[in-house]
């Protein structure tokens, strides 16, 4: 399995954070704040996989692009970036040695927490 950074989703998350479309919640809130399977299905039915993919920092090339399995590391609720989602993605990426995703999530974490650190180099 090869999971890589979804640059498009990363840029989308950065843009949302810059526009203030973020929820500054706590790490443990993600289980309650992440979209349910039904919310994911409803979003897919209305917007399709292209738009759906913008909400996931990872892409798994072992699965076709028109499947949920293709997208990993969600970070928001289809409207806003959630700090808890970013923290979860950062932690899970580190645990699985997905360095590019970990670094991108860490940068988003810094943006949400008010850090002015430069964007990560990739």
Characterize 75-111 residue by residue with b for buried, 16 or more Cβ atoms within 10 angstroms of its Cβ, and e for exposed. bbbbebbbbbbbbbbbebbeeeebebbbbbbbbbbbb
Residue 97 falls in which region: left (phi positive, over 0), alpha (psi -120 to 50) or beta:
left
pLDDT at 119: 46
CA distance 17 to 22: 6
Name the pTM for this structure: 0.90
For residue range 20-57, list pLDDT tens digits in order.
Answer: 999 999 989 999 999 999 999 999 999 999 999 999 99
Residue 116 has pLDDT above 60, yes or no: no
């Amino acid at each position: 399995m090869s999971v890589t950074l979804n640059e498009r989703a990363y840029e989308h998350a950065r843009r949302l954070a810059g526009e203030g479309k973020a929820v500054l919640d706590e790490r443990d809130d993600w289980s309650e704040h992440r979209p349910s399977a039904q919310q994911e299905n409803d979003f897919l039915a209305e917007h399709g996989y292209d738009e759906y993919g913008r909400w996931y920092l990872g892409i798994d090339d072992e699965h076709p692009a028109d499947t949920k399995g293709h997208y990993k590391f969600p970070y928001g609720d289809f409207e806003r970036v959630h700090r808890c989602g970013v923290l979860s993605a950062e932690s899970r990426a580190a645990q699985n040695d997905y360095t590019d995703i970990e670094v991108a999530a860490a940068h988003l974490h810094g943006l949400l927490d008010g850090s002015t650190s430069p964007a990560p180099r990739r």
